[in-house]
A and B are shown apart, each in its own frame.
Chain A
């Protein structure tokens, strides 16, 4: 056994940790090596001297405070446990409802934006409305006017078209109310569904009570008066506003509408329409009726309209006008002259809507990515701080390095650098720490904790043997930060003392 091994065994022996066979080996070595024997005796005496030193006792007040803190912690946790049982259920229920709403919106909204069917339904409804108006203008009594007036409403409520439109219109409104969909998307939906929704509102869309409601409404109108024309006239006033917004004279657009092609099929769903009226409708379907004039302008042109071929689709009573006065794309559909033109515009709308939807999706993705990025950056900083507090400086340094690599701005950036420097210092990597501190000093002169950065940099210089740099750094800290003056002066004196000792130790 050599002396080095014996010294290790000595420590075990002195504190009763040595194993028997090692003790025998040590004993044999001590008999041969007087130097180690002397050292062992000295250690034993030193230990005996310090053995009797009584440790200080903490005050009973301090111990009581700690015990109270522990008891309080248990009490707090137990009391916090009970309410949690109460509150998580409503929270879960709310989250569930929110999830259902979001899923519903996610399911229906894309259909709304892409599907052309609502636009076709809109056209169909408008045509139906005009057809009934035309028939009524020609032959119906005031009572039957009410019934006829109700008919378009029923068409709206039709399973194949009306419900779809109304439901989607409501969804669009719900979406706006919830503020979930983007403004672009809302615009698109609004553009497509504004017209049907207005019709639905105008026609008092209540399934069973519609007929009586419509009748009572129209009972107020003089039987001899053309109720539909009056209503249409009122609508034309609104349309006039729309045209004014578009710069188009209302008169030039008001006119008659073509008859709906699949009218018969739609009527089959309307069980409330009297049988005789349906028969008359079928006759009309067999030979398309002349278009009825709409509104005041339409009335003025009524005679002419009877001979002329159907003019381009009227903007109708429900041309969508957004609050900002911009007429949306659905207008174009209503103003289209031919089915081919309608199809073309529809394709255009679809394309535009898809672009908008894609744009929204893309922007949402980008936004989400941005949020993720934004969220991730503080996570790294927070992770670094957590490791720093746990004194796991290696991981703390890695986290701060990752954070800084993202080139963050502002106070978190400089704080991360400061903590990175401290972490390096704790890890004994003084060169790296110094490099970080230098960067802070150069780039963040207004950093609020600059005093401590300077002091830490000085410590690094001192440890690295760069005493002059250390003294200079401490002097700057002392001058710039009066609060650190005394400490800095002490450090400067210590550094100078170290220099003196070093110089003395160096051979001349």
Chain B
């Protein structure tokens, strides 16, 4: 079987790995490492914590190799494990950080009310600072980096439930129904969280003086 053949589904690869094919696991790892790590970074807000959790998730996958049953989409199963690992990691961090799953406290302001805590770089960001140019100079590169950081912070400031739905839909491209299975909620609840997430993000962009529709 050609591992790089995208027609080979994740589920088939996982079954091959369950049968003792280490190459199948490597292909799965290759397919999911970036989106999964991005999801973890967005959810946990720390690269270090994301690395630990990334390793933990795949250890769980490895340990579940023998008992794996092809009853759901592999991505759904993987992100379900990831979701649980994130909840664990956040609980562990709960005593070290003020923010928790149940009581998010944001000292920078309340995103729900749209109250402004100030631009990340201390000043108003203009569209020309962030629009991609044909030949980006050092200033433009810096502006892009700043915008990227601001967007990440905006996502981090979301309520964890909204954040998770937004990240899974926006970056992991999971359908709403699958997201519901991952987070243990109904599809309508997931859509509702997504709507709130988009509204809050728009408020934050306005608060950060980032024009809507701007792209990197």
Contact of A57 among B37, B102, B151, B175 (CB under 8 A): B37
CB of B29 within 8 A of CB of A463, answer no
Bound complex: CA A65 to CA B62 (Å)? 12
Contact assessment for A487 and B95 in the assembled complex, using a CB-CB cutoff below 8 Å: yes
Q: How far is B58's CA from A62's CA once the two chains are assembled, in angstroms?
A: 11
- Tell me whether A462 and B103 are in contact in the complex, defined as CB-CB below 8 angstroms, given that A56-B47, A70-B22 are known contacts: yes
Say which residue of B37, B65, B152, B198 sits within 8 Å of A46 (CB atoms).
B198
Docked complex: A19-61 residues within 8 A CB-CB of B: 42-43, 45-59
On whether the beta carbons of B62 and A58 are closer than 8 Å, the reply is no
Residues of A within 8 A of B63 (CB): 73
Chain B residues whose C-beta falls within 8 Å of the C-beta of A65 in the assembled complex? 55
Query: B84: which A residues are within 8 A, CB to CB?
Result: 391
A residues 442-497 touching B (CB-CB < 8 Å):
452, 455, 459, 462-463, 484, 487, 490-491, 493-494, 497
Q: Which residues of B contact A78 (CB under 8 A)?
A: 20
Asked if A8 is at the interface of the complex by the 8 Å CB criterion, the answer is yes
The reply to whether A45 and B213 form a contact with Cβ atoms under 8 Å apart is yes
Say yes or no: A45 contacts B169, CB within 8 Å: no
Give the residue of A63, A74, A497 whose beta carbon is less than 8 angstroms from that of B29.
Answer: A63
A15 at the interface (CB under 8 A from B): yes
Whether B148 and A53, one on each chain, are in contact in the complex, defined by CB atoms closer than 8 angstroms, is yes
- The residues in B between 1 and 55 inclusive whose CB is less than 8 angstroms from any CB of A are 17, 20, 22, 25-26, 29, 33-35, 37-39, 41-42, 47, 50-51, 54-55
Determine if B195 and A11 form an interchain contact, defined as CB atoms under 8 angstroms apart: yes
Q: How far is the CA of A498 from the CA of B106 in the complex (A)?
A: 11
Could you tell me if A73 and B65 are in contact, using CB atoms closer than 8 angstroms? yes
Q: Which residue of B lies closest to A490 (CB)?
A: B98
B27–chain A nearest beta-carbon distance, Å: 10
How far is A66 from B63 in the complex, measured between Cα atoms in Å? 12
In the assembled complex, B108 has its CB within 8 A of some CB on chain A: no
From B102, B105, B176, A463 is in contact (CB under 8 Å) with B102
Query: Are A74 and B194 neighbours in the complex by a CB distance under 8 Å?
Result: no
Chain B residues within 8 Å of A49, by CB: 151, 205, 210, 212-215
**Beta-carbon contact of B170 and A50 below 8 Å:** yes
Interchain CB contact under 8 A, A50 and B151: yes
- How many chain-B residues does the 8 Å CB contact rule pick out? 61
CB of B100 closer than 8 Å to a CB of A: yes
Q: Answer whether A52 and B216 are a contact pair too, CB < 8 Å, given A8-B191, A62-B51.
A: yes
Q: B91-143: which residues lie under 8 A (CB-CB) from chain A? A: 94-98, 100, 102-103, 105
Structural contact, A48 and B22, CB atoms closer than 8 A = no
Q: Interface size class for chain A?
A: 35 or more
A151 to B155, CA, bound (A): 103
Which secondary structure characterizes the binding site on chain B?
helix
Q: Is A17 interfacial (CB-CB < 8 Å)?
A: yes
Query: Total A-B residue pairs with C-beta atoms closer than 8 Å?
Result: 140
Q: Does B87 contact A (CB under 8 A)?
A: yes
A347 at the interface (CB under 8 A from B): no
Query: A3 to nearest B CB, angstroms?
Result: 11
Contact status A58-B51, CB under 8 Å: yes
A7-B195, A55-B37, A487-B96 given; A73·B62 CB < 8 A: yes
> B155 to A50, Cβ gap below 8 A?
yes
Q: Is the CB of A63 within 8 A of B33?
A: yes
Shortest CB-to-CB span from A162 to chain B, Å, is 60
Contact of B171 among A12, A55, A73 (CB under 8 A): A55
- Most B CB contacts (10 A, CB to CB) among A12, A15, A70, A484 go to A70
A101 interface residue per 8 A CB criterion: no
| Least distance between B177 CB and chain A CB atoms (Å) | 9
Chain B, residue nearest A493 (CB) = B98
Bound-state Cα–Cα, A58 to B52, Å: 11
Report chain B residues within 8 Å CB of A391. 84, 87-88
> Which B residues lie within 8 Å of A74 (CB)?
20, 22
Q: Which residues of A contact B88 (CB under 8 A)?
A: 391
CB of B181 within 8 Å of the partner chain: no
Chain B residues positioned under 8 Å from A66 (CB to CB): 29, 54-55, 58-59
Which residue in chain B gives the minimum CB-CB distance to A460? Answer: B102
- Kindly provide the distance from the CB of B5 to the nearest chain A CB, expressed in whole angstroms: 19
A484 touches B95 (CB 8 A): yes
A65-B55, A459-B100 known; A56+B41 contact, CB < 8 A = yes
With A59-B51, A62-B55 already in contact, the answer to whether A70 and B176 are too (CB < 8 A) is: no
List, sorted by A's number, 18 A–B pairs whose CB atoms are closer than 8 Å.
Answer: A7-B195, A8-B188, A12-B176, A43-B195, A48-B215, A50-B201, A55-B39, A57-B34, A63-B29, A66-B55, A69-B58, A70-B25, A70-B62, A391-B87, A484-B95, A490-B98, A497-B105, A498-B105
Chain B residues at the A interface, C-beta cutoff of 8 Å: 17, 20, 22, 25-26, 29, 33-35, 37-39, 41-42, 47, 50-51, 54-55, 58-59, 62-63, 65-66, 84, 87-88, 94-98, 100, 102-103, 105, 148, 151-152, 155, 169-171, 175-176, 188, 191, 194-195, 198-199, 201-202, 205, 210, 212-216
On A, residues with C-beta under 8 Å from B are 7-8, 10-12, 15, 17, 42-43, 45-59, 62-63, 65-67, 69-71, 73-74, 77-78, 391, 452, 455, 459, 462-463, 484, 487, 490-491, 493-494, 497-498
